[in-house]
Structure 1
């Protein structure tokens, strides 16, 4: 029922917006894992890469990876081990839908709204998801 130590490093990286390092950390444990952990780790790392793509204004890459990541996490809802999957899933789906509705021509604007642009002059107005733990895991 526990995760490897590197997973928690990946969680810290994800939660602090270090999406590419999070991908690297989780990919290393994903490659060595077996299901059901393997698909769970892959879903999170794909969501991280989706936000990384958004930070680079890569609209298509963000849509694809957010879509694939949330699709992989769908079966782990509402929680997996000690992780609140439902909150991560719903916030990531919300980001995906917001980006789809906005369209490619507004990707830079939405990256800034999520606080993912180096040139952002305003504080983030849209919340990025966080990986949170549940109080009393089932």
Structure 2
């Protein structure tokens, strides 16, 4: 883990948690491009989950399912908490959403479902203190 976490990362977390998924992607992508490992893959995992949620907002079920899986797979290699993020909680929430999406299928998603339907509970990044 790096000694200092860039301010842009916390901006990306705030964007994620307030539903600004495309902005979160842009913020974290800028960090990802410049980062070395292990942060590079960590940023990529979170930004892929963010893009998955952006796809879901746009009723792109396939894109949401693919990127939820890819982002989660990248984050699975990290400890329970990493860079101030409760990774296990983010993975758990993402897995629950992925399972729900797979069960209901692409034809059952409507714009009115997002954020209002408890069935489609969107992940949030939970922070941990050191």
1:76 and 2:70 are equivalent in the alignment: no
Segments of structure 1 that go 5 or more residues without pairing to the other structure are 116-122
Residue pairs, 1:85-104, within 5 angstroms: 85-104=87-106
Q: Distance in 2 between matches of 1:50 and 1:12?
A: 17
Q: Distance in 1 between matches of 2:33 and 2:57?
A: 25
Deviation of the 1:82 alpha carbon:
1.5
Per-residue CA distance 1:66-105 (angstroms, 9 max, x = gap): 0100000111141113111111111011111100111111
Alignment-derived partner of residue 129 in structure 1: 123
Segments of structure 2 that go 5 or more residues without pairing to the other structure are none
Residue pairs, 1:33-112, within 5 angstroms: 33-108=35-110, 112=112
Deviation of the 1:124 alpha carbon:
4.1
Alpha carbon RMSD of aligned pairs, Å?
1.3
1:34 counterpart SS class: coil
- TM-score norm. by structure 2 comes to 0.91
1:112 counterpart SS class: helix
- TM-score norm. by structure 1 comes to 0.86
Q: Distance in 2 between matches of 1:90 and 1:36?
A: 21
Alignment-derived partner of residue 114 in structure 1: 114
